[in-house]
Amino acid sequence: MSGGLLFALGGIALFAIGISALVLRPHLLRKILALNVMASGVFLILVGGGSGVQGVDPVPQAMVITGIVVSVSATALGLALVLRIARMTGHASLPEDRNRAAAEAKAE
């Protein structure tokens, strides 16, 4: 097993952790963190899988640099939206998550 493959498997684990936190944790800021972790996992898969015995492959590296810049733009836009939602509604979570939590608490 090479180092690149090890990082790629770690990237798969990061993707799984990220997507489970995205679905299951209600706070919007935490969802944005989860999206960033998912993106980092995918970048590790791209570059880790591409580092073979033929040498370092520059094309996935260029794609990952592009991906990092795009994901910071999306994060910034998402954070601005979260701030606006929090200021207008007073909550930082989606109504579906709040209703589910309230129903669970009531069923106890």
Partner 1 sequence: MDPQLNTGLLLDGVLVAVLVWVAWAALWGRGLFRSIVLFIAFGMILSIAWIRLGAPDVGLAEAAIGAGLTGALLLATWGALPERVGEEEAADEQAEESADERA
Partner 2 sequence: MSGPSAQRPVLRAVLGLALLAVAAGLANALMAPSGFPNLTAAVDASLESSGVGNPVTAVLLNFRAYDTLLEMAVLAAALAGVWSLGRATPTLALRPSPVLVGLLRVLGPLFPIICGYLLWAGASQPGGAFQAGAVLATSAVLYVLLAREAGPRLPELPMRVAAVAGVGVFLAVGLAVMAAGGGFLEYPPALSKTLILAIETAAMISIAVTLAGLFLGGRPRSEP
Q: Which residues bind partner 2 (CB under 8 A)?
A: 5, 8-9, 12-13, 15-16, 19-20, 23-24, 45, 49-50, 52, 54-59, 61-63, 65-66, 69-70, 72-74, 76-77, 79-81, 83-84, 100, 103-104, 106-108
DSSP assignment string, 44-102: HHHHHHH-BTTB--HHHHHHHHHHHHHHHHHHHHHHHHHHHHHHHHS-SB-HHHHHHHH
Number of residues in the chain: 108
Could you list the residues that contact partner 1 (CB under 8 A)? 1-4, 6-7, 9-10, 13-14, 17-18, 21, 25-27, 29-30, 32-34, 36-37, 40, 43-44, 47-48, 51, 56, 61, 64-65, 68-69, 71-72, 75-76, 79-80, 82-83, 86-87, 90-93, 101, 104-105, 108
Contact between 15 and 36 under an 8 Å Cβ cutoff? The reply is no
